[in-house]
Structure 1
Amino acid sequence: MSPRRGMLFSAFEPSGDELAAPVIRRLRDTHPDLHLWALGGPRMQQAGAEMIEMTAQHAAMLGDDLLPHLRRHVARLGQLKSFVARHDIVAHVPIDSPVLNWSICQMIRDRRPGARIAHLSAPQLWLWGSSRIGKLRRLTDHVLCLLPFEPAWFTRQGVRATFVGHPLAPHTLTSEHHNLDQNDAEPMIQVNETGHANVNMGASDESLTLGLLPGSREHEIRMNWPTMARTANMLRRRFADLCVTVAAADERAAQSIDALSQKRRCDSPPFRVRVGQTGQTLRDCDVALIAAGTATLQAAMLRTPMVAMYNLNWFRANLLIRPMTTSNTYALPNMIAEAAGRPWVVPEFVPHSGDPRPLVEALTLLLAGTHRRAAQREALRAITEPYEHVPFADAATQCVLQLAGYTTQ
């Protein structure tokens, strides 16, 4: 009996699970006879993938947990070799997590040389790690880019690349009926000065709302949340009716925020936590303070005025990060603006020392000035215009199918 023919997806973080799911769903709709196997998470499974292993429920391990995580991956590669030998893999779609996905790409190259490899979400070699472009040339046939300036950069490096939009684009969420926020019907949770949680459904119409997005990974929350809490506390002294809403990616993130807040009760204002509702939190707030990352791009697409920040200690920022990077900015909206020849659109404090005072001043200008918020919204509209014309699932699916030699519908 001939081996089953299909495509392999590999993701190792919740963000990769979210990216792959719309593509898998569209492939399942257009080519129902095509087998779709995956290392990934629950969204990929719900979209129709046959799961080999659940690998994307939580963010990749860091620090002390890295070694056992890598040991598990070595064992996983051994199992995958056996799987690939029994199945006809026509295409491999690695999503994010280059540290783990490089090895799978190499194994596919060695064991299934006829399979095409399409990276979904470009490795950020244009920011750091440009010396690895040779590895990418060997281990990919096409890069599906989420940022509009990336295809031109990869093309100059000899790598085929296509801009496929982003699943967070509001029109994509509407047209595909696939909101990436989880548990949208759940109420917000308010944590008061004593650290105890209670249900609270939101602010009054007259008050301003500040959104805080400290990141999705535990180490990001540890780095950024204490400064965000102190910043919000200082702003409450200037804006007495200010409501503070925190977006937690999942229950684990919410627990981390709660634990840190109880340790630093004097620094934490009353706030509400919305679990798995990042998009709705950004829609509802007047201004957001965001840890630099994908959430800044989501805020830009939703036209939410923001300040970007990310705490790093001096040693890491100046001796490790800056010498390795080729950009003057680390906030995605500013990167897009700079690549398009526009001025920065978002106040940016990356890397930041942890001092809340400059954040308070930048946020005060936005909270107190409706004209400043309106100006930033217009600038955000301009830089995210490319996303309005590219439906993510359609564009990404078409690229993968064409690369694998299938007709598109």
Structure 2
Amino acid sequence: MLPRTAARLELARAIGGGLVAPLRFLAHLPARARVRREIAADVAAGAGIPGEIPDFEIRKDRPLRIFLSAAEASGEIHGASLAKALWKAAEDRSAPRPEIIAVGGERLRALGITTIGDPVARAETGFDGVLQSLPYYVGLLEDAARHARETRPDVVVPIDSPALHVPLARMVRRYGSPVVHVVAPQYWGWAPWRVGAYRKVVDRALTILPHEPAWFGRHDVATAHIGHPLLDALAGVPVTEPDPASRVLALLPGSRRGVIRRNLPWMITALGALRAEHPDAEIRILQSTPEHRELIEGILAETQGGDRARLVVGDLHGNLTEARAAFAVSGTILTDVLHHRLPTVVVYRVSKRLETWMYRNVLTCPYFASTNLLAGAEVLPEHCFRGHGPMETVSKEVAAAFGDEARRAAYGAGIAEAARRLGSAGAIERAAGHVLQVASRGRIA
């Protein structure tokens, strides 16, 4: 099939899938209770343990041809680390340096990797952004398929982002390239009916959360559990415990403009009980970069929150080390907070009625905060809501996480279990081993 035809077929498939999505959801309703019970049991067990680096051989008659794809910043960070691990593995075995071509952005180009398109720079959030970007992504799929057809990669390695990468995987497998998907999609949490199509387009899915191997295995998806790649980035950061003498609350409102705009004003208002019970508390709003300084300072002025909180840019882990507790928007930042064992209250404020309805009726996982998913229980308070939400409840929970020693001890026990289940660093090296093992088995007939 010609790349242009394949790309347009995927567009038609996506449009058709969107049109029938309500029907698929209705068809799923009779089984929803059973699915939720199964996933809750998987989460509670959390039995996945990262495996050893698999055995593999690297051909020495020519360089391996590897095609990476990253659609957003977090995936590109993992992709850059993976490229280095692949090159090192080849060097250690006196094999030619693999030739890597990628879909991605500046981080990959900085390594000397040629890229086809840059979806990282175009990453959009919101329905309108997706519609406006459709022509670009269809063209990107066509370019990627053309590359796969012309160069015949030994393996294609998409990272996360199933909306782009499941169609890409289906296309490149038509041209004989096996697919190793790094960071398997979280269909278990919101669209379990999609797993049937997924297992047909990947040769190996690499999971990062301990409950995922059981779920994907039950659906006959070939998987390997590598652990969480973020732990590799944290390998050089000491694990710490909260300083009992600290009076610092780390407030983490997210890293995207829309998320900050929705959540930070509400979070500042929710500090009322903390300020009343602990007037000496120092609230630090933490941001890794100055990108949103103007927005956050504007919100502080609007809410008159400047006397209750101050913005601190940079040295995220230094500030988390000095904190006593945290108040955070749900996201990958929770892994950083977990690294410092901080009692944390987790919130996520949405803006649309549809989002609230989907949270209550579509999600099939028992928790949305990653710490709770890891622990297999609600060890930290979590709240997803619209509008005013549970303001009084959250306000009391933040004060308790900061000053109630019995509550803090209970949080600490749950946090320790979550950290134990998360495992240790080495996910990227394990991923490289699986990529090279699949590549060594040859192309698909």
Query: TM-score surpassing 0.5?
Result: yes
**Which residue of structure 1 lines up, in the alignment, with residue 129 of structure 2?**
65
Larger radius of gyration: 2
TM-fit CA distance, 1:390 = 5.2
1:252–1:379 CA distance, 2 compared to 1 (3 A): same
Q: Does 1:298 align with 2:341?
A: no
**Which residue, out of 394, 404, 414, partners 1:379?**
414
**Per-residue Cα deviation, 1:203-231 (whole angstroms, up to 9, x for no partner):** x9965111122222222222211111222
TM-fit CA distance, 1:128 = 0.8
In 1, distance between residues paired with 2:89 and 2:112? 12
Quote the RMSD (CA, aligned, Å). 2.9
**Which residue of structure 1 lines up, in the alignment, with residue 68 of structure 2?**
9
In 1, distance between residues paired with 2:269 and 2:406? 26
More off after superposition, 36-45 vs 208-217:
36-45
Q: Does 1:56 align with 2:120?
A: yes
Whether the 8 Å CA contact 1:230–1:268 is kept in 2: the answer is no
**Which residue of structure 1 lines up, in the alignment, with residue 80 of structure 2?**
21
Counterpart secondary structure, 1:399: helix
Query: 2:291 is aligned with what amino acid?
Result: R
**Per-residue Cα deviation, 1:69-107 (whole angstroms, up to 9, x for no partner):** 222112222322332233231112212222122222222
**Which residue, out of 31, 42, 54, partners 2:106?**
42
Query: 1:361 is aligned with what amino acid?
Result: K
**Which residue of structure 2 lines up, in the alignment, with residue 132 of structure 1?**
194
**Which residue of structure 2 lines up, in the alignment, with residue 349 of structure 1?**
383
Q: Does 1:75 align with 2:139?
A: yes
Q: How many residues align?
A: 371
Query: 2:428 is aligned with what amino acid?
Result: A
Q: Give the structure, 1 or 2, with the largest relative contact order (CA under 8 Å, sep 6 or more).
A: 2
Q: Does 1:120 align with 2:188?
A: no
Query: 1:241 is aligned with what amino acid?
Result: D
**Which residue, out of 69, 86, 90, partners 1:31?**
90
Counterpart secondary structure, 2:254: coil
**Which residue, out of 279, 282, 303, partners 1:264?**
303
1:311–1:358 CA distance, 2 compared to 1 (3 A): same
Query: 2:260 is aligned with what amino acid?
Result: I
In 2, distance between residues paired with 1:23 and 1:377? 33
Counterpart secondary structure, 1:94: strand
**Which residue of structure 1 lines up, in the alignment, with residue 211 of structure 2?**
149
Query: 1:153 is aligned with what amino acid?
Result: W
In 2, distance between residues paired with 1:254 and 1:58? 22
TM-fit CA distance, 1:286 = 1.3
Gaps of 5+ in 2: 1-60, 92-96, 238-242
TM-score (norm 1): 0.81
TM-fit CA distance, 1:233 = 5.5
Query: 1:350 is aligned with what amino acid?
Result: C
**Per-residue Cα deviation, 1:120-153 (whole angstroms, up to 9, x for no partner):** 1121110111111122112211111111110110
Query: 1:295 is aligned with what amino acid?
Result: I
1:318–1:246 CA distance, 2 compared to 1 (3 A): closer
Percent of paired sites with the same residue: 26
Whether the 8 Å CA contact 1:3–1:87 is kept in 2: the answer is no
Q: Does 1:165 align with 2:227?
A: yes
TM-score (norm 2): 0.75
Instruction: Spell out the pairing of 1:379-398 with structure 2 (5 A cutoff).
Output: 379-389=414-424, 391-398=426-433
User: After TM superposition, what 4+ stretches of structure 1 lie above 6 angstroms from structure 2?
Assistant: none
Counterpart secondary structure, 1:116: coil
**Which residue of structure 2 lines up, in the alignment, with residue 220 of structure 1?**
259
1:28–1:254 CA distance, 2 compared to 1 (3 A): farther
1:69–1:28 CA distance, 2 compared to 1 (3 A): same
